[in-house]
């Protein structure tokens, strides 16, 4: 079984929210699920796979500036974003937990529970 983990972190790279989807599901599903629970923020950094006009518009309605690089098919290029390493560092620290990195749990609920336990410890370190 393959899964994707979608995450929201704060400015220091500490995990705040998670959502898990099946591996073959697009990233827009995770973005739509997490959109309602975004904390107050000035900007949002995301990967190019979250580049969609509806997502950008929804962020602007919430007062959040989207810092998402455009896909190759987007007509006008969007300015590259900085500080993306925060989310990459968080996922790297999450993979320090062997149970999460090797995906021991077959059940997505149990896997998400292991992620929640690891992030709880990570948040306070």
Task: Tell the burial category of 81 from Cβ atoms under 10 Å away from its Cβ (0-12, 13-18, 19+).
Answer: middle
Domains of the chain by residue range: 3-124
pLDDT for 79-117, tens place per residue? 666 667 778 888 888 888 888 888 878 888 888 888 888
pLDDT at site 78: 63
Closest CA to 112 of 25, 1, 38: 1
Quick check: 37 and 19 in contact, CB under 8 A?
Answer: no
Can you tell me which residue has the tokens 């370190």? 125
Quick check: 13 and 86 in contact, CB under 8 A?
Answer: yes
pLDDT at site 61: 92
More confident residue, 83 or 7: 7
Tokens of 23: 């591996």
pLDDT at site 27: 84
Quick check: 70 and 48 in contact, CB under 8 A?
Answer: yes
Q: Does domain 3-124 have CATH number 3.40.640.10?
A: no
pLDDT for 25-80, tens place per residue? 888 888 888 888 888 888 888 888 888 889 989 999 999 988 887 777 777 666 66
Whole-model pTM? 0.78
């Amino acid at each position: 079984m393959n899964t994707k983990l979608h995450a929201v972190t704060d400015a220091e790279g500490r995990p705040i929210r998670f959502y898990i989807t099946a591996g073959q599901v697009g990233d827009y599903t995770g973005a739509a699920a997490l959109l309602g629970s975004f904390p107050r923020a000035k900007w949002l950094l995301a990967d190019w796979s979250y580049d969609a006009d509806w997502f950008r518009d929804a962020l602007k309605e919430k007062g959040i500036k989207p810092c998402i690089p455009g896909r190759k098919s987007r007509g006008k290029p969007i300015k590259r974003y900085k500080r993306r390493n925060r989310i990459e560092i968080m996922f790297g620290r999450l993979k320090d937990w062997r149970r999460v990195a090797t995906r021991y749990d077959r059940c997505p609920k149990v896997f998400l529970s292991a992620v929640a336990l690891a992030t709880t410890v990570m948040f306070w370190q």
